[in-house]
Amino acid sequence: MQKDIVLELKQKAKELRKEIITIIYNAQSGHPGGSLSAIDVMVGLYYHKLKVDTKNPLWENRDRFVLSKGHCSPAIYAVLADKGFFPKSELEGYRKINRMLQGHPELNTPGIDFAGGALGQGICFALGIALACRLDKRNCNVYAMIGDGEAQEGAVWESSMAAAFHKLDNLIVILDKNQVQQTGKTKEIMDIGNVTMKWKAFGWNVIEINGHDMAQVVKALDKASKMKNKRPTIIISNTIKGKGVSFMELNHKFHGKAPNDDECRKAIEEIGNIDVKKFK
Amino acid sequence: MEKSATRDGYGKALLELGRQNKDVVALDADLSDSTRSEYFAKQFPERFFSMGIAEQDMIGAAAGLAFSGKIPYASTFAVFSERAYEFIRNIVSRNRLNVKIAGSHSGIATGEDGKSAQAIEDIAAYRVLPNMVVLQPCDAAECEKMVFALADYKGPSYMRLHRNAVPVIHDSNYKFEIGKGEVLRQGKDAVIFATGTLVHETLKAAEILDKEGIKVYVVNIHTIKPLDSNLVIDLAKKTNYVVTAEDHNVIGGLGGAVAEVLSENYPCLMKRIGMQDMYAESGRPDELYKKYGLDAESIAEEVMKFVSKKK
pLDDT at A280: 38
CA-nearest residue to A129 within chain B is B64
Distances (CA, A) of A227 to A207, A231, A274: 11, 8, 34
**Mean pLDDT, residues A105-120 taken together:** 98
> pLDDT-derived band of residue A272, with 50, 70 and 90 as boundaries?
confident
Q: Which chain A residues are closer than 8 Å to B57 by Cβ?
A: 124, 127, 155, 158-159, 162
Query: A167 vs chain B: nearest CA distance in angstroms?
Result: 12
CB contact A118 to B (< 8 Å): yes
CB contact B64 to A (< 8 Å): yes
Domain of A237 in residue numbering reads as 2-273
CB A83 within 8 A of CB A16: no
Q: Which chain A residues are closer than 8 Å to B26 by Cβ?
A: none
Mean pLDDT of chain B: 97
Q: Evaluate whether residue A280 is within a structural domain.
A: no
CA-nearest residue to B72 within chain A is A128
CB B73 within 8 A of CB B100: yes
Kindly report, residue by residue over A60-108, the tens digit of the pLDDT: 999 999 999 999 999 999 999 999 999 999 999 999 999 999 999 999 9
pLDDT at B20: 98
What percent of chain B is modeled with pLDDT above 90? 99
- Dihedral sign computed on CA atoms, order B2, B6, B8, B12: positive
Tell me which residues of chain B have a pLDDT lower than 70. 311
**Mean pLDDT, residues A161-168 taken together:** 98
* Domain range list for chain B: 3-167, 182-308
Kindly report, residue by residue over A171-190, the tens digit of the pLDDT: 999 999 999 999 999 999 99
For residue A234, give the CATH number of its domain: 3.40.50.970
Return d(Cα A242, Cα A1) in angstroms, integer. 30
Question: DSSP string of chain B?
Answer: --EE-HHHHHHHHHHHHHHH-TTEEEEESS-HHHHSTHHHHHH-GGGEEE--S-HHHHHHHHHHHHHTT-EEEEEEEHHHHGGGHHHIIIIIITTT---EEEEESBSGGGGGG-GGG-BSSHHHHHHTSTT-EEE--SSHHHHHHHHHHHHHS-S-EEEE--SS-EE----TT----TT--EEEE--SSEEEEE-TTHHHHHHHHHHHHHHTT--EEEEE--EEES--HHHHHHHHHHHSEEEEEEEEETTTSHHHHHHHHHHHH---EEEEEEE-S----SS-HHHHHHHTT-SHHHHHHHHHHHHHTT-
Kindly report, residue by residue over A210-244, the tens digit of the pLDDT: 999 999 999 999 999 999 999 999 999 999 999 99
User: Are both B3-167 and B182-308 of the same fold?
Assistant: yes
Looking at CATH, the fold of the domain delimited by B3-167 is given as: Rossmann fold (3.40.50)
CA-nearest residue to B46 within chain A is A135
Nearest to A158 among B46, B57, B90 (CB): B57
Q: Which chain A residues are closer than 8 Å to B49 by Cβ?
A: 131, 166
Asked if B66 and A130 come within 8 Å (Cβ–Cβ), the reply is: no
Question: Which residues of B are the active-site residues?
Answer: 55
CB contact B152 to A (< 8 Å): no
CB contact B91 to A (< 8 Å): yes
Strand order in the sheet with B48-50: B48-50, B24-28, B71-77, B100-104, B157-160, B133-135, B223-225
CA-nearest residue to B63 within chain A is A125
Strands B3-4, B166-167: parallel, antiparallel or unpaired by DSSP?
antiparallel
Kindly report, residue by residue over B92-109, the tens digit of the pLDDT: 999 999 999 999 999 999
CB contact A106 to B (< 8 Å): yes
Asked if the model's pLDDT at residue A274 lies above 70, the reply is no
Looking at CATH, the fold of the domain delimited by B182-308 is given as: Rossmann fold (3.40.50)
Nearest to B56 among A124, A129, A165 (CB): A124
Enumerate the H helices of A176-247 as residue ranges: 186-190, 195-201, 214-226
Q: Evaluate whether residue A105 is within a structural domain.
A: yes
CA atoms within 13 A on the CB side of B220: 23
Q: Evaluate whether residue A279 is within a structural domain.
A: no
State the total domains in chain A. Answer: 1
Nearest to B54 among A60, A135, A158 (CB): A158
Q: Evaluate whether residue A254 is within a structural domain.
A: yes
CB B160 within 8 A of CB B136: yes
Longest Cα–Cα distance of chain B, Å, equals 64
**Mean pLDDT, residues A152-156 taken together:** 98
Asked if A127 and B61 come within 8 Å (Cβ–Cβ), the reply is: yes
CB B205 within 8 A of CB B296: yes
**Mean pLDDT, residues A253-275 taken together:** 90
Beta bridge partners of B26: B48, B73
Return d(Cα A212, Cα A177) in angstroms, integer. 11
> pLDDT-derived band of residue A1, with 50, 70 and 90 as boundaries?
low
Mean pLDDT of chain A: 96
CB A144 within 8 A of CB A172: yes
CB contact B267 to A (< 8 Å): no
CB contact B95 to A (< 8 Å): yes
